[in-house]
Structure 1
């Protein structure tokens, strides 16, 4: 059983905004330290940002409007805690504590990911999709249900009828759809709104990629300040995650669908 939500779901809109802000930090510094939380809904977007980078509020507001439409914004930017900053002063070291799990994707998970992308390509509006064995549930806003029935005749589509979604009728928050982003690899750490020194990003990405390669579960743990994880220098873990996210187009693009 698995659920996917698309990039226009309010929680994913929040993730995408957080990712865009992280992209702005990386445009200012090669290895910025940043953590972003976004809450959005009903015409308002709040973002709290802890960072070493010198960010411009006008650029952040522009990113919010580009992703979510014109709305009121409340942007708070504060320096990163000095103890966390000191952890990184002599090189790239693990930025937080955590346990992490990478799991090979199942055929069902891969299939639903393709279905979600296909539907979103046709209907780029708020939607969520569930697959449980042979049962496929499609909840897609701003579409004629009968049209989707022609494409997915065996699916349960919009059980309560046609609907309008998005941030005008619902709220979204960063890292609230980790099941959609990570499938069975979900642990305690969120993927979005953080720089690569944070194990929530780099070790999660690394564990997921290793699990896809080995087709075996991967379990890792780390503590703030660690410089070796899974027998590799932490800087190498970060480099692997950086390449993966860069190949997707950056943190905002990574936030659209998560790991798969």
Structure 2
């Protein structure tokens, strides 16, 4: 069983904005520390950003409007806590306590992701897609249900009929759709709005990718300040996660669909 939401879902809009803010931090510094939370809906976007990087509010505002359109922007940027900054000043160490797992994707989960992306390529509006053992459910806004039923005749399409979605009728917040991002690999940490020193990002990515590579679940735990995880130096975990983020085009692109 798996759920996917597309990049125009309100929660994904929030994730994408948070990712764009992290991209701005990496443009300003080689190894920034940043945590950004975004809440958006009904014409306003709130963004609270804690960072070491010199991020310009106008650049954040521009990113918000590029992704979300005409919304009022409420942006707060504050420096990272001085004790946290000092703890990371001598190199990468685990930025948080946490438990993490990576689980190989099933054939059905991969197919669900493929279907979701195919639908979004035709209808780039708010949508949600669910697959269990017997049912494929497609909820896609801003398109006639009958049109979808003709194309996806094997699915349950818009069970309540046509609808209009996205941030004008709903709210979105960062890291609220982790199942859509990670399938069965969900644990406690959110993927979006944070730099790679944060275990929520780097260890989640590492565990997921390792599980796909070895074909079995990966279970990891860490404490804040750890310099070794899974027998590797923490900086190597970060390097592998950064390589993955770079390969897909950055944190904003990562936020569109998550890890699959």
- In structure 1, the gaps of 5 or more residues are none
- Find the counterpart in structure 2 of residue 32 from structure 1: 32
Give the distance between the partners of 2:203 and 2:21, measured in 1 at CA.
21
Instruction: Give the Å deviation of 1:82.
Output: 1.2
- Find the counterpart in structure 1 of residue 136 from structure 2: 136
- In structure 2, the gaps of 5 or more residues are none
Give the distance between the partners of 1:87 and 1:201, measured in 2 at CA.
18
Number of residue pairs matched by the alignment: 260
- Classify the secondary structure of the residue corresponding to 1:22: helix
Instruction: Give the Å deviation of 1:191.
Output: 0.1
- Classify the secondary structure of the residue corresponding to 1:92: coil
Give the distance between the partners of 2:98 and 2:134, measured in 1 at CA.
35
Instruction: Give the Å deviation of 1:172.
Output: 0.1
**TM-score calculated relative to the size of structure 1:** 0.99
Instruction: Give the Å deviation of 1:146.
Output: 1.3
The C-alpha deviation readout for 1:151-183, integer Å capped at 9, x for no partner, is 110111011111100100000000000010010
- Classify the secondary structure of the residue corresponding to 1:36: strand
The C-alpha deviation readout for 1:101-142, integer Å capped at 9, x for no partner, is 000001111010000000000000000000011310000000
- Find the counterpart in structure 2 of residue 122 from structure 1: 122
Give the distance between the partners of 1:82 and 1:182, measured in 2 at CA.
32
**TM-score calculated relative to the size of structure 2:** 0.99
Give the distance between the partners of 1:98 and 1:87, measured in 2 at CA.
17
- Find the counterpart in structure 1 of residue 259 from structure 2: 259
- Classify the secondary structure of the residue corresponding to 2:137: strand
- Find the counterpart in structure 2 of residue 6 from structure 1: 6
Give the distance between the partners of 2:85 and 2:169, measured in 1 at CA.
39
Give the distance between the partners of 1:156 and 1:195, measured in 2 at CA.
39
- Classify the secondary structure of the residue corresponding to 2:111: helix
Instruction: Give the Å deviation of 1:226.
Output: 0.7
